[in-house]
Amino acid sequence: MADAKLPDWAGTQSWSGRVGPEDIDENGHMNVLVYDRVLDEIDRAMFLQLGWTPAYPQVERRGFFRVEKHMRYESELMERTPLLGTGRILFTDLKRFHLFFQLWNATTGQRSAFMETMVLHMNLEARRVSKMESGPLAETLLAAQRAQADLPMPPGTRRRVSTEPQPAC
């Protein structure tokens, strides 16, 4: 897969793939549901890369709940297009995680979509927000956020759904 040069603010590459024939809708481009699935895969891949495992909820009795999600589609993706996914932790206090994920055309380097989320760390027994306990995963997540703290914010962060004009990304 040809990897285009991505901007510094893109974040850490955590995922790659290709648009398959099953991903194409009646309009001849990647279906909106596939964008949702792929951005969710990028999110999961970043957390796996940082040391989270699917056993975390069962072992620690803690989990992550996505409480807000904003997505924007910026360009079409056609069958056989190679893809890259990047992620950033924009902020965390180990209770709240402000995350930003981007989907890129790996050939052209053009951003195709992004997803901005707010995720809460939860105590699964009390069903309440709880700060992560110190340990390897917490330290890795904090280190990832600090490593990118001085990068420019990706275009499109902190947007809102509105009928009012907003700055272009």
Q: What structural domains does the chain harbor?
A: 11-147 (3.10.129.10)
pLDDT at 169: 58
Rounded to whole angstroms, the Cα distance separating 46 from 160 reads 24
For the chain, report the end-to-end CA distance as a whole number of angstroms. 26
Give which of 48, 41, 40, 146 is closest to 90, Cα–Cα. 146
Q: How many residues comprise the chain?
A: 169
The pLDDT assigned to 2 comes to 52
The pLDDT value given to residue 161: 62
- 113 and 39 Cβ atoms separated by less than 8 Å: yes
Residues in the chain, pLDDT under 50: 1
The confidence score (pLDDT) of residue 1 equals 46
Residues 9 and 154: beta-carbon distance below 8 Å: yes
Distance CA 166, CA 169 (A): 9
What pLDDT shows up at residue 164?
A: 72
* The two three-digit tokens of residue 95, written as one number: 């209770």
CA distances from 59 to 52, 55, 120 (A): 12, 6, 18
pTM of the model: 0.91
